[in-house]
Amino acid sequence: MTASQTAEITGLYRYPIKGLTPEALSRVPLRTGRTLPADRRYAIENGPSGFDPDAPEWKPKIQFLMLARNERLATLDSRFEDATNQMTIRKDGQIVASGDLETAAGRAAIESYFTENFQPELKGPPKVVSGRDHSFSDVARKVVSIINLGSVRAIEAMLGGTAVHPLRFRANLYVKGWPAWSELDLVGQTLAIGEARLKVVKRIVRCPATNVDPETAKRDLEIPPTLSRHLGHMDCGIYAEVIADGEIGVGDAVAMEEPRLV
C-alpha cells in the first residue's frame, strides 16, 4: 500500500459489555492511550476469574461470557446509556433485564438473567465486572480495532461468494478503500484521521467468534480455518493505539502519515 491510498470510515462501533451488542456511533472522541469511550468497559465473568476491580489486570477472554463459546449472546439486543450507566437487554423485542451497572442492585439484575438463562454454559455464578478505565479487550493493551472491508470481500470470495457480515469481526472502525489484506502490512505505521493519530501495533488473529452470524446467532461459517487454508495465517484486521487526541466520525478519511525527514 502506498501512502497516497487513503481509506474512508464507513462504520464506528463500541461494545460496552464484552460479547454483547455492537453500538453504532456517528462521531466519537479519541484520547491518547485510551479505547473508544466505554468500549469493553464491562464483562460478564463466567465463574471466578480472580479479576480485582481495585487493581484491574488483563484476563484471557475464556474467563468471561463470549461469542467464541457462547453464541447465544448474539440473540440478545443490549443498549448502554452513558449518562445513567443503565444497561437494557432485550430478547425478541422484549426487555428481559435492566440495571445500572455502577450499582450492586443493577448488576444483580443483569446477573440474574444470565443465571436463569445461560445454563449449562456457566462455570460458576455470572458476575458483571469492571475496573476504573480497564478495557476487557482480547489483548492486554488499550487498542482500537480496524477492519478493512476489502479483506471481508476477499473472504467472501474464499467462501465461494457466501456473504460475510462485517460485524462478525466486532471491530471499532470499518474502512473501505484499501486493497484486500494491505492493512496487515501497516504494523508500525501511523494512521491520521483528522487531528487524531493511531499507531498500528498488531495484526488481529481471528478466533471462532467470527463463525457466529451476528444477526441469527448461528455458528454457520468457518472463517479462521478458511483464512489458514488460503493465506497460511488466521489474521484479519489490525489493532492500533491512539497516540494523539482527535474526534473521528463516519465518512472521515484514514491516511498514512508520512514519516518526518530529519
In the prediction, which pLDDT does 258 show? 72
The model's pTM: 0.95
* Tens-place pLDDT, residues 7-66: 999 999 999 999 999 999 999 999 999 999 999 999 999 999 999 999 999 999 999 999
* Tens-place pLDDT, residues 180-206: 999 999 999 999 999 999 999 999 999
Is residue 261 scored above 50 in pLDDT? Answer: no
In the prediction, which pLDDT does 132 show? 82
Total residue count of the chain as it appears in this document = 262
For residue 262, what pLDDT band results from cuts at 50, 70 and 90? very low
Mean pLDDT for the chain? 95
In the prediction, which pLDDT does 134 show? 94
* Tens-place pLDDT, residues 89-141: 999 999 999 999 999 999 999 999 999 999 989 999 999 999 988 999 999 99
In the prediction, which pLDDT does 1 show? 61
Is residue 2 scored above 70 in pLDDT? Answer: no
